[in-house]
Amino acid sequence: MGVARRKYFARLRSVSDARRLIPSLERLLESEAFVDILEAHPRGLVVQHLRTELDRVRRELGERADPEAPPGDVEDPKLYAAGVDERLRASATPSLRAVINGTGVILHTNLGRSPLADSALDAMASVARGYANLEYDLDSGSRGSRYDHCTALLRDLTGAGGALVSNNGAAALVLALRTLAFGRTVLVSRGELVEIGGGFRIPEILESSGAVLVEVGSTNRTRLEDYRAAAEKNDPAMILKVHRSNFRITGFTEEASLEELVGLGAELDMRVVHDLGSGLLADPERLGLPAEPRPTESVAAGTDIVVFSGDKLLGGPQAGILLGKAEWIERMRKDPLCRAVRVDKTTLAGLEATLQLYRDPETALREIPVLAMLSASPEALAARADTLVASLAAAGVPCEAVETSSVVGGGTFPGVELESRGIRVESQEGGADALARRLRNASVPLVGRVEDGSFWVDLRTVLPWQDAVVLDLVSRHVGQ
């Protein structure tokens, strides 16, 4: 220990309480250590963080067991300046940040589901920068309706008589239930009482809408006769058919078809609502996916109302979409709840731009990121992986191109795996978990998978332009 340090500790021991050595707030603010900080930040904000830093030092001094090991030189303004600077940097970092998804889960709910098409981003930015004709009719110069902006496109693309957009899929379902079945019973198959995510379940959604649930059939088998028998006992207003998009029932199973339910509804004067969940508009065969019920098919079957999300397989911003017969759509538009779950101008702009791409199926497959990810060939992904590995190897990073598998995610296509390609990186310091943590905390967070003691990046969910960012991040963090 140096002479100056020994003198400092001797002085500490001569003071009954080391906390008396802490400089005052004003003295610290007037010190040279705080000159640059005060020039860069509002004084009030600096004072706020400095008070927090002073409290921290006082607390640590009061709790220390070794009088010769205080947290730095408590009289040095640089100690407090460093703490304040760190707090200022942390407070300036947004809590919601863009990340790179290397997990292989395309519709990753925790990472915000669908990335948006460039045209959708441009449309959203355009209306967000200033004013927009959200509820203004430019032809007449009078008040208009926000619900007119996507209606014509949705009708054209699906054949529906009417359309309505809410802020998310669950809200759309609650609106349909409240408008068409408030205070009355709704028939739902026991095999379709799903949990849609976040702990929310179909029975709870029915309860919140004011409808009364009547369970029909059994978990694995619900026949048309079960619905008829339940209808005779309960005088229901509606049959709700829920697409089991996030799980599958196999084996000894049976269920009434949508067409059969529509026929029964017409016979007994019951509305039929089909909750599709994901709302795939593209042809699943073109995406290499199994058959999936689509809004166009539900509308063609005569369903009164079809409900699905805009931010899943549709590939747009978060929204709830209602399609169906014009009379029921109009009733929902007039329901007071419609205002509570209404959609904002940026969402409408992004959704409209996304729907425009579906006018040409080939353009949709190319321009909508979710569809492009789903349809990306293993060969194209392998070429990207080889290029990335070659660049990383040149930078001294131990890695290799690997075969892996992706999933669709977002509560869709359970059990379906997509052949994919990616990279496997060996960490030189601290192992794969430590590398994954460093990359998550990077300036641009990269989220991947840890498998077999290595860090994996599935390139199916990495946008092509992000390959260069992945190269930079991995090169900088793998050896730390």
Question: How does DSSP classify residue 461?
Answer: G
pLDDT of residue 223: 93
Regarding the domain delimited by 100-107+371-477, which CATH topology (the fold level of the hierarchy) does it fall under?
Answer: Aspartate Aminotransferase, domain 1 (3.90.1150)
| Residue owning tokens 């600096």 | 46
pLDDT of residue 262: 96
Give the C-alpha distances (Å, rounded to integers) separating 194 from 109, 140, 231, 251. Answer: 17, 46, 21, 19
pLDDT of residue 37: 93
CA 258 to chain centre: 30
Position 254 confidence tier, pLDDT thresholds 50, 70, 90: confident
Between CA 177 and CA 202 the distance in angstroms is: 11
Contact residues for 267 (Cβ-Cβ < 8 A; gap 6+): none
Give the C-alpha distances (Å, rounded to integers) separating 235 from 176, 228, 239, 256. Answer: 18, 10, 11, 19
Residues paired with residue 212 on neighbouring β-strands, in sequence order = 185
- pLDDT digits 0-9 by tens, 370-398: 999 999 999 999 999 999 999 999 999 99
**How much is the average pLDDT of 144-161?**
94
Q: Which residue ranges does the chain devote to CATH 3.90.1150.180?
A: 100-107+371-477
- pLDDT digits 0-9 by tens, 399-449: 999 999 999 988 788 888 999 999 999 887 778 999 999 999 988 999 999
Question: How does DSSP classify residue 343?
Answer: P
Regarding the domain delimited by 118-364, which CATH topology (the fold level of the hierarchy) does it fall under?
Answer: Aspartate Aminotransferase; domain 2 (3.40.640)
Q: What is the DSSP string of 218-279?
A: -SSEE-HHHHHHHHHHH--SEEEEE---S----SS-EE--HHHHHHHHHHHT-EEEEEEES-
Position 73 confidence tier, pLDDT thresholds 50, 70, 90: confident
Residue 194 near residue 201 (C-beta atoms within 8 A): yes
What torsion, rounded to 10 degrees, do the Cα atoms 183, 184, 188, 194 define?
A: 0
> Taking the CA of residue 349 as centre, how many other CA atoms within 13 Å lie in the half-sphere pointing to its CB?
20
- pLDDT digits 0-9 by tens, 205-242: 888 899 999 999 888 889 999 999 999 999 999 999 99
Q: Answer yes or no: is pLDDT of 173 > 90.
A: yes
Structure tokens at 219: 């978990």
SS3 string of 50-61? Answer: HHHHHHHHHHHH
Say whether 376 sits in a helix, a strand or coil: coil
Q: Which residue ranges does the chain devote to CATH 3.40.640.10?
A: 118-364
Of 84-88, 174-178, 192-196, 273-277, least confident by mean pLDDT is 192-196
Average pLDDT, the chain: 90
Between CA 31 and CA 283 the distance in angstroms is: 68
Provide Rg for the chain, Cα atoms: 29
Residue 342 near residue 167 (C-beta atoms within 8 A): yes
Residue 205 near residue 286 (C-beta atoms within 8 A): no
- pLDDT digits 0-9 by tens, 299-338: 999 999 999 999 999 999 999 999 999 999 999 999 999 9
Phi, psi of 249 (to 5 degrees): -115, 120
Nearest to 311 by CA among 99, 146, 156, 109: 109
Structure tokens at 298: 């539900």
% of the chain with per-residue pLDDT over 90: 74
pLDDT of residue 69: 47
Question: How does DSSP classify residue 283?
Answer: -
Between CA 358 and CA 87 the distance in angstroms is: 47
Greatest pairwise CA separation for the chain in angstroms: 98
**Buried residues in 390-409 as b, exposed as e (16+ CB within 10 A):** ebbeeeebebebbebebbbb
Amino acid at 449: R
Residue 241 near residue 189 (C-beta atoms within 8 A): yes
